[in-house]
């Protein structure tokens, strides 16, 4: 049986933040889950697990294991039984071209909560690297990812779809700027909670905002220290966060995973800004009801970014044309696979015949040249494959031509 590229997905399109939180993976959990899947489903030869704040998706290459089986296994592994409600939270497909199209749409940012979000391509690259580490590229999957990277480059170079920044990290810092006046910002004490991709993006975009009084904290202290050293900020001891000693911060932006309601008590002060970029809800949402607190989470920030989406709508048609072109190229490659396999078999046979005209120990280059010339002729005249007489004649002609050139 032939292999197929398949996928399952739960995202902001199909589920709320709370519903998605049950199917999130930390960096440590991702590798463990990949290893478990390999043992459970031995026919999987390619696998990418894409886990972001807005989606959890599995792209996998297999012969018999289907998307429904993987979805049900994920449900069970996360402590949920398969049900009509859970099933509706996921989209899935067992068709290779449908899967590639979905991946291209996701990678382009067309499926992001922030239209055209450029961070998704970096997250896909990171997931791809993990697949390489686990030796789970798979031929169908690897080809699809190369199509993704080519598509991303074309969209950046040929359209205005990437113009401007509409990332969650950038928007969060913009909210900080808009909440306080210049005098307040000069002395504002800001805390970044976490050390993952989003926090790194916060530091990246802060080069534009130039907030100075920044602290970073993380459960792995060394990661926080590394970020603090790189970006010239201070480190807050993680124990203080666990003990709730964050009272003197004007702004807290949290992107830590697996710590629900980590921050749950902010004493009354003139103004406090809390931004929760974690799916699980690391900042207690009840704080949103406090008068002295301005509170934003993933959903509210995404809502605020709608205006930015409109600026990119004009380029969507061009983006879709590029995606369509790359999908067609992939489909052509996919449907020509049987022909490539057949030609590979013929090349072996042809090579063996050509060896009979030369000394295999002294004329290796000539054998390769004649074999390649014959293969090119066959690709342009496939009817030659139907006749051994025509093939023998073609090989003989190519040998004679080569010898004439040498003479």
Cα 203 from Cα 214, distance rounded (Å): 10
Q: Please count the other Cβ atoms lying within 10 Å of the Cβ belonging to residue 389.
A: 8
Sheet holding 234-235, edge to edge: 234-235, 214-217, 190-193, 251-254, 272-276, 293-296
Q: 90 versus 353: which is more confidently predicted?
A: 90
Tell me which range, 322-331, 357-366, 385-394, is most confidently predicted by mean pLDDT: 322-331
Q: 57: which residues sit within 8 A by CB, 6+ positions away?
A: 7, 8, 9, 10, 11, 49, 50, 51, 106
Q: 99: which residues sit within 8 A by CB, 6+ positions away?
A: 4, 5, 6, 7, 59, 93, 144
Strand-pairing partners, residue 273, are: 251, 294
Cα 137 from Cα 34, distance rounded (Å): 13
From start to end of 29-103, where are the E strands? 46-51, 55-62, 91-93
Q: What is residue 192's three-state secondary structure? A: strand
Helix (H) or strand (E) holding 299: helix 298-304
- Mean pLDDT on 17-31: 87
- Which DSSP letter does residue 7 get? E
On whether the CB atoms of residues 197 and 215 are closer than 8 A, the answer is no
Helix (H) or strand (E) holding 146: helix 139-158
Listed residue (38, 13, 39, 10) closest to 25, CA to CA: 10
Alpha carbon distances (Å) from 253 to 34, 104, 105, 124:
30, 31, 29, 24
Given a cut of 80, whether residue 379 has pLDDT beyond it is: no
- Length of the chain, in residues: 407
CA angle 387, 393, 398 (to 5 degrees): 130
Comparing 21-30, 32-41, 370-379, which segment has the lowest mean pLDDT?
A: 370-379
Given a cut of 80, whether residue 385 has pLDDT beyond it is: no
Region of residue 175 (left: phi > 0; alpha: psi -120 to 50; beta: else): alpha
Listed residue (382, 301, 306, 389) closest to 353, CA to CA: 389
Q: 3: which residues sit within 8 A by CB, 6+ positions away?
A: 45, 61, 62, 63, 138, 139, 140
Given a cut of 90, whether residue 319 has pLDDT beyond it is: yes
Listed residue (130, 133, 4, 19) closest to 69, CA to CA: 4
pLDDT digits (tens, 9 = 90+) for 332-363: 999 887 666 666 777 787 788 888 888 777 77
- Mean pLDDT on 78-86: 73
What is the chain's mean pLDDT, rounded? 88
* Percent of the chain predicted with pLDDT > 70: 91
Backbone CA torsion sign across 91, 92, 95, 100 = positive
Listed residue (307, 285, 305) closest to 296, CA to CA: 285
pLDDT of residue 166: 62
Cα 217 from Cα 237, distance rounded (Å): 6
pLDDT of residue 384: 60
User: What's the whole-model pTM score?
Assistant: 0.62
Given a cut of 70, whether residue 268 has pLDDT beyond it is: no
User: What phi and psi, each to the nearest 5 degrees, are found at residue 46?
Assistant: -145, 140
pLDDT digits (tens, 9 = 90+) for 307-317: 666 778 888 99
pLDDT digits (tens, 9 = 90+) for 119-151: 899 899 999 999 999 999 999 999 999 999 999
The burial of 161, by beta-carbon neighbours within 10 Å (0-12 exposed, 13-18 middle, 19 or more buried), is given as buried
- Which DSSP letter does residue 180 get? S
């Amino acid at each position: 049986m032939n292999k197929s590229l398949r996928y399952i997905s739960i995202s902001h399109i199909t589920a709320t933040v709370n519903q998605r939180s049950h199917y999130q993976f930390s960096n440590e959990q991702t590798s463990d889950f990949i290893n478990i899947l390999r043992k459970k489903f031995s026919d999987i030869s390619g696998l990418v697990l894409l886990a972001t704040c807005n989606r959890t998706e599995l792209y996998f290459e297999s012969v018999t294991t289907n998307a429904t089986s993987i979805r049900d296994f994920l449900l069970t592994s996360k402590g949920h039984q398969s049900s009509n409600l859970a099933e509706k939270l996921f989209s899935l497909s067992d068709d290779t071209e449908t899967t590639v199209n979905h991946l291209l749409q996701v990678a382009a940012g067309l499926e992001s909560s922030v239209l055209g979000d450029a961070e998704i391509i970096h997250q896909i690259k990171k997931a791809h690297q993990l697949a390489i580490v686990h030796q789970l590229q798979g031929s169908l999957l690897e080809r699809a990812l190369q199509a993704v990277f080519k598509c991303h480059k074309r969209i950046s170079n040929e359209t205005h779809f990437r113009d401007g920044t509409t990332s969650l990290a950038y928007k969060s810092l913009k909210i900080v700027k808009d909440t306080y006046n210049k005098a307040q910002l000069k002395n504002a004490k800001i805390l970044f909670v976490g050390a993952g991709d989003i926090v790194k993006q916060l530091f990246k975009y802060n080069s534009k905002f130039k907030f100075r009084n920044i602290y970073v904290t993380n459960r792995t202290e060394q990661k926080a220290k590394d970020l603090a050293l790189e970006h010239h900020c201070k480190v807050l001891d993680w124990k203080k966060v666990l003990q709730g000693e964050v009272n003197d911060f004007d702004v807290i932006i949290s992107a830590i995973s697996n710590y629900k309601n980590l921050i749950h008590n902010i004493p009354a002060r003139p103004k406090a800004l809390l931004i929760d970029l974690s799916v699980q809800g690391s900042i207690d949402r009840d704080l949103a009801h406090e008068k002295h607190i301005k509170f934003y989470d993933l959903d509210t920030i995404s809502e605020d970014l709608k205006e930015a989406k409109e600026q990119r709508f004009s380029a969507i048609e061009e983006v879709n044309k590029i995606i369509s072109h790359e999908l067609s190229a992939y489909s052509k490659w996919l449907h020509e696979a049987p022909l490539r396999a057949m030609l590979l078999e013929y090349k072996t046979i042809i090579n063996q015949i050509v060896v009979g005209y030369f000394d295999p120990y002294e004329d290796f280059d000539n054998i390769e040249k004649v074999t390649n010339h014959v293969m090119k002729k066959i690709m342009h005249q496939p009817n030659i494959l139907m006749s051994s007489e025509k093939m023998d004649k073609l090989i003989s002609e190519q040998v004679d031509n080569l010898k004439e050139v040498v003479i």
